[in-house]
Amino acid sequence: MFKRWFGEKDTREVIMAPLHGEVVRIEEVPDPTFSKKMVGEGVAIIPKEGKVVSPVKGEVVQVFPTKHAVGLRSEKGVELLIHIGLETVFMQGEGFVAYVRAGDKVKVGDPLLEFSIDLVKEKAKSAITPIVIINPDRMDQIEMEWPKEAKMGETSIMKMKVK
């Protein structure tokens, strides 16, 4: 009866692709920190260009000083890490530009970061970009999606129910 009066809280969350590129399983990331899911559950994208947009409506929690990674929290409480490339921390921010900072509110498609894909391919171990749910214990279920080609801000890559 109360659900009818007040409505049932929608706990579903959809994570959109933050980059253009090919979606691959997190287990295919050539770094055990991600492939063994030590950071969390997720997918990875092999980027076709160096632009990163917000995959959710929410808040920027952290932009790493080297601008190679950004942490977000969706309005429904999903915490995400977008980590551009592997071993890109050693680039010390070279080739990276951040458009947001901690505390900024974002919606799907808002620009977060840009990076030189050529420089990442030249100086880092890989350009593959993990998108990881770092609080999977707060999810009732997580469903990965496997589109052949993801379009940033348009293609769904993960769906879940938040507890």
Do the domain assignments include residue 5?
no
**Which CATH number is 156's domain given?**
2.70.70.10
Contacts of 81 (CB under 8 A, 6+ apart): 39, 40, 69, 70, 71, 130, 131, 132, 134
pLDDT score at 11 = 86
User: Which one of 43, 80, 83, 131 is the catalytic residue?
Assistant: 83
Check whether 1 has a pLDDT greater than 50: no
Residue 10 confidence class, pLDDT cut points 50, 70, 90: confident
pTM, 2 dp: 0.93
How many structural domains are present in the chain?
1
Do the domain assignments include residue 3?
no
Are 145 and 156 a contacting pair, CB within 8 Å?
A: yes
Structure tokens at 41: 């559950």
Q: Which of 46, 56, 66 is nearest to 113 (CA)?
A: 66
pLDDT, tens digit (0-9, with 9 covering 90-100), for 62-75: 999 999 999 999 99
Range of the domain at 126: 11-162
Do the domain assignments include residue 147?
yes
Q: Which of 150, 163, 157 is nearest to 14 (CA)?
A: 157
pLDDT, tens digit (0-9, with 9 covering 90-100), for 127-155: 999 999 999 999 989 999 988 899 999 99
Do the domain assignments include residue 130?
yes
**Is 83 a known active-site residue?**
yes
How much is the average pLDDT of 121-128? 97
